[in-house]
Amino acid sequence: MKPELEIELLRFIEKMSDRRLYFIAREFNGKQSDYRVTQYSLIPMAWDWISRGLAYFDISQPAPSNWDLRLTEKGKRYIEEEEENPYNDNIWYASLLKKAVGISDIEKQYAQEAIKAFVNELYVACHVLIGVSSESVIIRMAHAMAKSDLIEGHESISIAVGNPRIGIRELFS
């Protein structure tokens, strides 16, 4: 699903009072939008949102066709219009790429995985991936510093960079 459609639909659903799928589809198609949805195309979208913790069905009505689709607190944070919204991985990653010009493909991959881990509430994995990505950037920086005779102490950094048994902490001591 296109991220723009997802955000537009979730914001639309949040504003509605009647959130039954057939009503959502009818009302959404009646407004100005580049997208069209049906009640049946909303079903897999709804279950995707539920599996990601963004929405849930209010099952207080006995008939499933009358169940309302409601956003969770996480879903409400997901649709916030912030440039750096950590709950919307697509927006957050795009924002990161704009700011972190020059990072390598592997660093981008680690950062994207860290964001996915955060969104899926895998916080320890998120921290590990951020650490690995940061370590990669620091090592590249140390290699660049070792080559520059403009930096005081570049000789010791050069020796440390050349020794694979030396840890990051020792590179800058």
CATH architecture, domain 3-78: Orthogonal Bundle (1.10)
pTM for the full predicted model: 0.63
- Note the pLDDT tens digit of each residue in 93-146: 888 888 888 888 888 898 889 988 988 889 999 999 988 888 888 888 887 887
Q: What is the CA radius of gyration of the chain?
A: 23
Please state the domain extents for the chain. 3-78, 89-171
149-to-125, 126, 146, 170 alpha-carbon distances in Å: 38, 37, 8, 19
Confidence of residue 56 (pLDDT cuts 50, 70, 90): very high
Mean pLDDT over the full length of the chain: 83
Residue 7: pLDDT over 80: yes
CB 93 within 8 A of CB 105: no
